[in-house]
Structure 1
């Protein structure tokens, strides 16, 4: 008993997950705003900067979670689940930052409706990820377990929507775009945007596993 009291226990992992989820959702809102105002360079730069700021803030949370793992003997859920979840969450916002950089590096001058639609789906996925993470501390409640699994299913459906949008966009791109350079640019952008929802699905799968194991 005395030995147990001397060992660091629990930590604040759930609070850190919530904080990271907040940065993901805020980054996604800024990312969509950047797409919506892409034709206005000042606003485009402003919102891209907000994505970058949220990515840096999320990185600090990821570092803190991994540091805390080394200092905490007893964790609220499996250590590997904590490590996998925080790094999978970090991949989401990293991809949003990468997408901003790719659009800038490729000197994209305009975005189309397919890009906007993929941005909207990305935001919905990210908001669902944030919501699912907030439920983790209360998995001992049956209604919370059900809500978490339902949210994971919603993310899966959104990821399927993103797949369909990207396939349609790619088909249209290869049929209609005559400029090879523009085709290469847009193909890369579509792939980046669709991968954001893929990473959200990865997080949903991890959360689903945590829910089933701990409920």
Structure 2
């Protein structure tokens, strides 16, 4: 009995999930602001730095979750689910940072309407991810479990929206862009932006599995 009391239990996984979710939202909103203010070099650099800051903060949380997994005897949900969830969440911010850096490295001069739309969808997806994650600690309540599934379904719909926007953007790009270099640049940006919503959907799928097993 004493041995059981001495073993670490639960940890603060849900708090760290929430903190990571907030970092994702911060990074997504900073990325969105960077796109919206792209023509202002000072603001562009400011918001790009905020994306980097959110990504670094999330990396620390991810490392702490993985460290805590090795120290905690009894976890609130399955260990593999914890590992998959936190690393899938981290992939979202990695992509946000990668896309921010690609815009700079490729010297993209003009932000198209499609980039703005995909950025907006990405931000909405990230906000829904953070909301779904915030509900995980209360899955024993049937109403919360239902709300979590509903949020995951919203993420799925947003991902489908991003697919449609990207297909339309690609069609327009290949029909109307005469400069091959600009075409290659924008194609890469569109694909990266669409991948952000894909990663959000991956997180939603993990969360749906957690709900089904723990509610």
Corresponding residue of 1:48: 48
How many angstroms apart in 2 are the aligned matches of 1:24 and 1:110?
26
How many angstroms apart in 1 are the aligned matches of 2:201 and 2:136?
17
Q: Deviations over 1:88-130 (max 9, x none)?
A: 0000000000001111000001101100000000000000000
Question: Do residues 30 (structure 1) and 30 (structure 2) align?
Answer: yes
How many angstroms apart in 2 are the aligned matches of 1:41 and 1:169?
25
Where does structure 1 differ by over 4 angstroms across 4 or more consecutive aligned residues?
none
Q: Deviations over 1:169-207 (max 9, x none)?
A: 000000011111010000000000000000000000000
Q: Deviations over 1:125-144 (max 9, x none)?
A: 00000000000000000100
Question: Do residues 88 (structure 1) and 95 (structure 2) align?
Answer: no
Unaligned 5+ runs, structure 2: none
Corresponding residue of 2:75: 75
Q: How many residues align?
A: 215
How many angstroms apart in 1 are the aligned matches of 2:116 and 2:183?
17
How many angstroms apart in 1 are the aligned matches of 2:40 and 2:165?
25
How many angstroms apart in 1 are the aligned matches of 2:129 and 2:12?
19
Corresponding residue of 1:125: 125
Q: Secondary structure at the match of 1:9?
A: coil
How many angstroms apart in 1 are the aligned matches of 2:161 and 2:127?
16
How many angstroms apart in 2 are the aligned matches of 1:76 and 1:38?
43
How many angstroms apart in 2 are the aligned matches of 1:181 and 1:73?
54
TM-score by length of 1: 0.99
Corresponding residue of 1:178: 178
Question: Do residues 168 (structure 1) and 168 (structure 2) align?
Answer: yes
How many angstroms apart in 1 are the aligned matches of 2:44 and 2:180?
25
